[in-house]
Chains A and B, each alone.
Chain A
Amino acid sequence: DAGVIQSPRHEVTEMGQEVTLRCKPISGHNSLFWYRQTMMRGLELLIYFNNNVPIDDSGMPEDRFSAKMPNASFSTLKIQPSEPRDSAVYFCASSFTGLTGGYSNQPQHFGDGTRLSIL
């Protein structure tokens, strides 16, 4: 079975450029999560979706960050304009949440991440 697929695996760009990270969740999963991992702050939840609807974006650092999920099989995380402090590894994860269950009792399946470097 295909896991969570993220692209690109590595991205190096100059400050001020727009960056778009992509994620394809596991087929059948209805919850999708975007995380950022840095040495200083560890693993931070940025935003999560359920049934393509953003549920909680309180972790999004600022207005330069935006995320969309136009359909059940695709999500993007966009940074515009990018800054050097955005350099990190960005992970996408997906899970299945039942009709009555919360999001916190379902194991999340992670992609291999996108290593982003802003020069």
Chain B
Amino acid sequence: AQSVTQPDIHITVSEGASLELRCNYSYGATPYLFWYVQSPGQGLQLLLKYFSGDTLVQGIKGFEAEFKRSQSSFNLRKPSVHWSDAAEYFCAVGDPGRRALTFGSGTRLQVQP
């Protein structure tokens, strides 16, 4: 069975600084990979997804993620963080055999002025 690990429970960055959120997955083949963001009191919103092809994918709100097969990672990045990016971020893995998504435990991002 696949699994997803987000090793950082909580991250604090200064506004304007760069950001990298880590995601590691366990799966035998190339999985489908997603990043979602959840603002307080709201549901999850899709930021970006990777299925195949170019390993660097662009998403909404200036986010990007890079798939690295050798490291089983799909880290989320943003070159300059805005205060409105403060939220919780979830990495998710799709396994065709299981036919549903598995979500990581989430990383809460705090942005300091």
Residues of A with Cβ closer than 8 Å to B? 4, 33, 42-43, 45, 48, 55-56, 91, 93, 102-105, 107-113
**Could you tell me how many residues of chain B have their Cβ less than 8 Å away from some Cβ of chain A?**
23
Residues of B with Cβ closer than 8 Å to A? 32, 34, 36, 41-46, 49, 51, 90, 94-96, 98-101, 103-106
Picked from B45, B100, B106, the residue with its CB within 8 Å of the CB of A33 is B100
**Known contacts A33-B100, A45-B100, A56-B100; is-contact A105 B32 (Cβ 8 Å):** yes
Q: For the complex, what is the distance from the CA of A104 to the CA of B42, rounded to whole Å?
A: 22
Judge whether B41 and A42 touch: CB under 8 Å. no
**Known contacts A42-B105, A42-B106, A43-B90; is-contact A104 B99 (Cβ 8 Å):** yes
Judge whether B103 and A110 touch: CB under 8 Å. no
Judge whether B42 and A112 touch: CB under 8 Å. yes
Judge whether A104 and B32 touch: CB under 8 Å. yes
In the complex, the chain A residue whose C-beta lies closest to that of B46 is: A107
In the complex, the chain B residue whose C-beta lies closest to that of A6 is: B43
Picked from A91, A103, A109, A111, the residue with its CB within 8 Å of the CB of B46 is A109
In the complex, the chain A residue whose C-beta lies closest to that of B45 is: A110
Q: For the complex, what is the distance from the CA of A75 to the CA of B43, rounded to whole Å?
A: 17
Q: For the complex, what is the distance from the CA of A48 to the CA of B102, rounded to whole Å?
A: 13
